Amino acid sequence: QQMSDLLPLLPVLDQFRSDSRLIAALRAEVANVSLELGWPCREELGPSTHEELQQRLLLLQARLHACLQRLGCGKLTGVSNPITVRASGSRFGSWMSDTVTPSADSRVWYMDGYLRGRRVLEFRTLDDFVAGQNFIQHLLPHPWAGTGHVVFNGSLFYNKYQSNVAVKYHFGSRSALVQRSLPGAGYNNTFPYSWGGFSDIDFMADESGLWAVYTTQQNAGNIVLSRLDPHSLEVLRSWDTGYPKRSAGESFLICGTLYVTNSHLAGAKVYFAYDTGSSSSEHTDIPFHNQYSHISMLDYNPRQRVLYTWNNGHQVVYNVTLFHVVNTSGDI
Ligand SMILES: *[C@@H]1O[C@H](CO)[C@@H](O)[C@H](O)[C@H]1NC(C)=O
Ligand SMILES: *[C@@H]1O[C@H](CO)[C@@H](O)[C@H](O)[C@H]1NC(C)=O
Ligand SMILES: *[C@@H]1O[C@H](CO)[C@@H](O)[C@H](O)[C@H]1NC(C)=O
Ligand SMILES: *[C@@H]1O[C@H](CO)[C@@H](O)[C@H](O)[C@H]1NC(C)=O
Ligand SMILES: *[C@@H]1O[C@H](CO)[C@@H](O)[C@H](O)[C@H]1NC(C)=O
């Protein structure tokens, strides 16, 4: 059963054949394990052989999934034309779907405004969101600041008003599970993005987990990117990107690389990229159409591989083009 679950992955691996001695090795291993599984039935195997095979299978499974995740990953090279999903709410706000849960869950969350809001609308599906129907309301125990919220694995992560406290609000139990201060993080419109709006602290998710973007006095106002533990909200590791936060329009994370736009206004580009893998940055020049000329939220959803934005009272999505690099000298 486990083996047959893996077999559909082979064509995907094939697509990347040109890249890979390692993929060839994985293929051989899959074939070997398949063969050994097909040969005797379970009773004919000694218990140790069976256990050993099981062990190899689990290992193989983990390596294949890690490999696939990496194959799907890549460097941002383009942003599609925008599609306006809905025109609703004030000039500034935030909307999103879950960045982790399986695709069967297509709920959409909507948080209008950037200051002292507490009302989160939860729509059953994207179609319901478009039609403005079938929603329930969550009233947060603490008001929010900014628009940098993210929904990650059934919980909302947001910045508590007039503090640098991160709040984890669980939709299922309708309660705040954790609150924790981000050490040294500026708040209260001290270090917002270029558009202001108390956007000091921006939570986001990529393929590998939960992150926060902010800055501190010690970092002289340059963007700090921190990986967070989604259970405790503790900072696991931080990177100083060197990019001044007040000069950034917005930022979003794809496959461990932070992309920063140079403005929230017309003519904005993805201007800067910081790779946490190599702790290095580069200038980029990736244009995108800022149709309504005032972006107050921009986030990547790694599950759907789209960018969500709130642009002057419009809820807009973009596709992204990623250039896939498979590093054949690393181990999978
Ligand atoms: C597959 O089996 C062959 C023959 O037993 C062996 O030579 C080879 O090393 C195995 N390959 C892998 C990747 O396990
Ligand atoms: C999501 O939550 C479930 C339980 O609610 C947990 O088992 C799983 O590990 C979580 N996933 C992530 C990526 O945190
Ligand atoms: C936040 O800034 C406002 C002015 O914009 C000020 O009145 C208030 O005291 C500040 N609050 C905190 C907690 O720093
Ligand atoms: C993104 O690509 C998918 C598949 O090609 C397409 O259905 C969808 O409309 C695109 N969305 C945008 C915003 O371009
Ligand atoms: C590939 O991986 C190796 C070993 O992990 C590393 O030294 C090398 O810099 C990587 N190359 C690229 C292009 O990422």
DSSP secondary structure string, 129-169?
HHHT-SEEEEE-SS-BBSS--EEETTEEEEEBTTS-EEEEE
Q: Name residues whose C-beta falls within 8 Å of residue 278's C-beta, 6 or more positions apart in sequence.
A: none
The rounded distance, in Å, linking the Cα atoms of 37 and 193 is 56
Closest residue to atom 3 of ligand 3, CA basis: 188
Torsion angle in degrees (nearest 10) through CA of 234, 257, 8, 62: -40
* The residue to which tokens 């200038």 are assigned: 283
- Distance between CA 236 and CA 100 in Å, rounded? 19
Tell me the C-alpha distance between 195 and 265, whole Å: 9
Query: In the chain, which residue ranges form alpha helices assigned H by DSSP?
Result: 2-6, 9-15, 21-38, 47-72, 126-131
Residue 281 CB: number of other CB atoms within 10 A? Answer: 17
Å from CA of 189 to ligand 3 middle: 9
Mutate to test the pocket of ligand 1, among 13, 20, 22, 32 (most ligand atoms within 8 A of CB): 32
pLDDT at 5: 67
pLDDT 10s per residue in the chain (332 long)? 767 767 766 666 665 655 566 667 777 887 887 777 766 555 565 666 777 877 887 787 767 766 665 667 889 999 999 999 999 999 999 999 999 887 678 999 999 999 999 999 999 999 999 999 999 999 999 999 999 999 999 999 999 999 999 999 999 999 999 999 999 999 999 999 999 999 999 999 998 899 999 999 999 999 999 999 999 999 999 999 999 999 999 999 999 999 999 999 999 999 999 999 999 999 999 999 999 999 999 999 988 889 999 999 999 999 999 887 655 554 44
pLDDT of residue 192: 98
Relative to the CA of 163, which ligand 3 atom is closest?
13
Q: Are 89 and 110 in contact (CB under 8 A)?
A: yes
Residues contacting residue 302 through CB under 8 Å, at least 6 positions apart? 99, 205, 206, 207, 254
CA-nearest residue, atom 3 of ligand 4: 319
**Are the beta carbons of 298 and 76 closer than 8 angstroms?**
no
Q: Is 330 in the pocket of ligand 5 (CB under 6 A)?
A: yes
Q: Give the per-residue pLDDT at 269.
A: 97
Which ligand has the minimum distance to the alpha carbon of residue 82? 4
The verdict on the CB of residue 188 being under 6 Å from ligand 3 is: yes
As a dihedral over the C-alpha atoms of residue 60, residue 64, residue 70, residue 72, rounded to 10 degrees, the angle is: -170
Residue nearest to atom 10 of ligand 4 (CA): 319
Q: Is the CB of 48 under 6 A from ligand 5?
A: no
Nearest CA to ligand 1 atom 12: 29
Q: What's the pLDDT score for residue 32?
A: 80
> Whole-angstrom Cα distance, residue 287 to residue 77?
10
Query: Residue 312's pLDDT is what?
Result: 98
Mutation to probe ligand 4, out of 319, 321, 322 (largest number of atoms < 8 A from CB):
319
Q: What share of the chain is helix, strand, coil (3-state, %, to 5)?
A: 20, 40, 40
CB 273 within 8 A of CB 260: yes
Count of residues in the chain: 332
What separation in angstroms does the CA of 132 have from each of 17, 32, 110?
A: 46, 53, 11
Give pLDDT, residue 329.
53
Work out whether the CA dihedral 264, 270, 276, 282 comes out positive or negative.
Answer: negative
CA distances from 268 to 23, 264, 286 (A): 39, 6, 9
Measuring from atom 2 of ligand 3, which residue has the nearest CA? 188
The token duo for 288 is 């995108």
φ and ψ at residue 22, rounded to 5 degrees: -65, -40
Q: Residues with Cβ within 6 A of ligand 4?
A: 80, 83, 317-319
In angstroms, the CA 100 to CA 85 distance is: 21
